[in-house]
């Protein structure tokens, strides 16, 4: 019997129009373009300004872009997963609303949350559904409206994050292209380094938590940076070794876009030159769950059937990991 692998067969993306530049941030907090650029690699990020629009708006737009480009019939989609750290609402799933709005009326849908590693983990979930033979079309979306949880008076966080969404379709493949292997990790030691303290079940929102600004993202950047550098590089190196891959075999590293210095450290460890490292942090910042699919959308034209890609991510929790995937189509 032919082995079924899970391949990405289409990509879509969406970022809002409003551009928040380093220059504008200089007017909000005590920072400057030179510091932000040299410490993070970020020049600008996109922000969803429209009142009443949440993460589902971004998710829907990216999915509609995928549907338009690929011509897939939304009614044939079996499952919609929205990877996000900023759902529209608690309890009512963002993915369910997204699926209905894009016409995926025969799909079941749910959200998947693992901070900046959400999309990476979601790739494993989607691929496993396909490899098992149970489902034929899984739409995996990474979407975050980070501006909804950022304090624009906190220079430790507001310079980093942006809004955006990307979507990929996973389908069965009989040429052994697509998803190959993974190394996924997590460690609860990270819980206090990157979090939103209030609004969850431990500390429900009150007037006091609002006054204390505990509904915003808190990050101990130095510690997160330290863990991110060593762990993202580690898993990338290990998955390549495990699959007998050298830097010459790899077409691209597809790294989470949190800080250019973390990306460079990972690339150095696996000996990949900058032209083999996907990068768009300069224009989008850290879009959390959306970084990996936004990279695929930006580089789709350059990718060739059979290209070997190494994905890597690190995020709050801590959560991190690496995935080895073979690209399945020419654009």
Write out the residues near ligand UT7 by the rule CB under 6 A: 31, 35, 39-40, 116, 155-156, 159-160, 221-222, 224-225, 228, 258-259, 262, 286, 314-315
User: Please, which residue, 137 or 260, has the CB nearer to ligand UT7?
Assistant: 260
Of all helices (H) and strands (E), which one includes residue 35?
helix 33-40
* Minimum distance, C-beta of residue 324 to ligand UT7, in the bound complex (Å): 21
Of 163 and 171, nearer to ligand UT7 (C-beta) is: 163
**Residue 181 C-beta: closest distance to ligand UT7, Å:** 23
Q: What is the largest CA-CA distance in the chain?
A: 63
User: Angle at CA 114, nearest 5°, toward 281 and 180?
Assistant: 80
Take residue 322 and report the two structure tokens written for it: 């690496």
Q: Write down the catalytic residue from 116, 158, 173, 259.
A: 116
Question: Would you call 105 helix, strand, or coil by DSSP?
Answer: coil
Exposure of 80 in the CB half-sphere (CA atoms within 13 A):
33
Between 3 and 222, whose beta carbon lies closer to ligand UT7?
A: 222
Report the residue number, 146 or 167, with the smaller CB distance to ligand UT7.
146
Q: Where are the alpha helices (DSSP H) in the chain?
A: 22-26, 33-40, 55-70, 94-101, 118-131, 207-211, 221-242, 260-269, 281-284, 291-299
- Helices 260-269 and 221-242: crossing angle in degrees, nearest 10, is 30
Please report how close the Cβ of residue 22 comes to ligand UT7 at its closest, in angstroms: 9
To the query of whether residue 116 is one of the catalytic residues in this protein, the response is: yes
Contact between 84 and 116 under an 8 Å Cβ cutoff? The reply is no
Residue 286 bears catalytic tag: yes
Residue the block writes with tokens 């801590």: 318
Per the annotation, the verdict on 256 as an active-site residue is yes
Is residue 97 a contact partner of residue 156, using CB atoms and an 8 Å limit? no
Round to whole Å and give the CA distance between 92 and 96: 8
Which is catalytic among the residues 79, 83, 256, 259? Answer: 256
Q: How far is the CB of 16 from ligand UT7 (least distance, A)?
A: 19
- The least CB distance from residue 226 to ligand UT7, in Å, is 9
Q: Which residue is nearest to ligand UT7 (CB)?
A: 221
Question: CA 47 from chain center: how many Å?
Answer: 16
Toward ligand UT7, which CB reaches closer, 180 or 259?
259
Q: How far apart are CA 251 and CA 328, in angstroms?
A: 13
Catalytic residues: 116, 256, 286
């Amino acid at each position: 019997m032919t082995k079924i692998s899970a391949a990405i067969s289409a990509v879509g993306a969406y970022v809002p129009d409003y551009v928040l530049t380093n220059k504008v941030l200089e007017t909000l907090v005590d920072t400057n373009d030179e510091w932000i650029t040299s410490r993070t690699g970020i020049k600008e990020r996109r922000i969803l300004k429209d009142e009443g629009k949440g993460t589902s708006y971004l998710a829907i737009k990216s999915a509609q872009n995928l549907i338009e480009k690929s011509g897939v019939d939304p009614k044939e989609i079996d499952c919609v997963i929205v990877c996000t750290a900023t759902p529209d609402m608690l309890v009512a799933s963002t993915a369910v609303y997204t699926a209905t709005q894009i016409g995926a009326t025969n799909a079941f849908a749910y959200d998947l949350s693992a901070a900046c590693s959400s999309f990476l983990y979601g790739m494993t979930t989607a691929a496993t559904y396909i490899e098992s033979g149970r489902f034929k079309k899984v739409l995996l979306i990474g979407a975050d409206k980070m501006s909804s949880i950022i304090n624009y008076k906190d220079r430790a966080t507001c310079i980093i994050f942006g809004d955006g969404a990307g979507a990929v379709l996973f389908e069965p493949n009989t040429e052994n292209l697509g998803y190959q292997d993974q190394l996924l990790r997590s460690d609860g030691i990270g819980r206090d380094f990157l979090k939103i303290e209030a609004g969850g079940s431990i500390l429900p929102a009150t007037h006091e938590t609002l006054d204390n600004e505990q509904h915003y993202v808190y990050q101990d950047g130095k510690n997160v940076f330290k863990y991110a550098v060593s762990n993202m590089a580690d898993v990338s190196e290990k998955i390549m070794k495990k699959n007998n891959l050298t830097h010459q075999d790899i077409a691209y590293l597809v790294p989470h876009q949190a800080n250019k210095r973390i990306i460079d450290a990972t690339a150095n460890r696996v000996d990949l030159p900058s032209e083999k490292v996907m990068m768009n942090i300069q224009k989008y910042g850290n879009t959390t769950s959306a970084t990996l699919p936004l990279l695929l959308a930006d580089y789709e034209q350059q990718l060739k059937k059979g290209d070997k890609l190494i994905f890597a991510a690190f995020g709050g929790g801590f959560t991190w990991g690496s995935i080895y995937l073979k690209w399945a189509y020419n654009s």
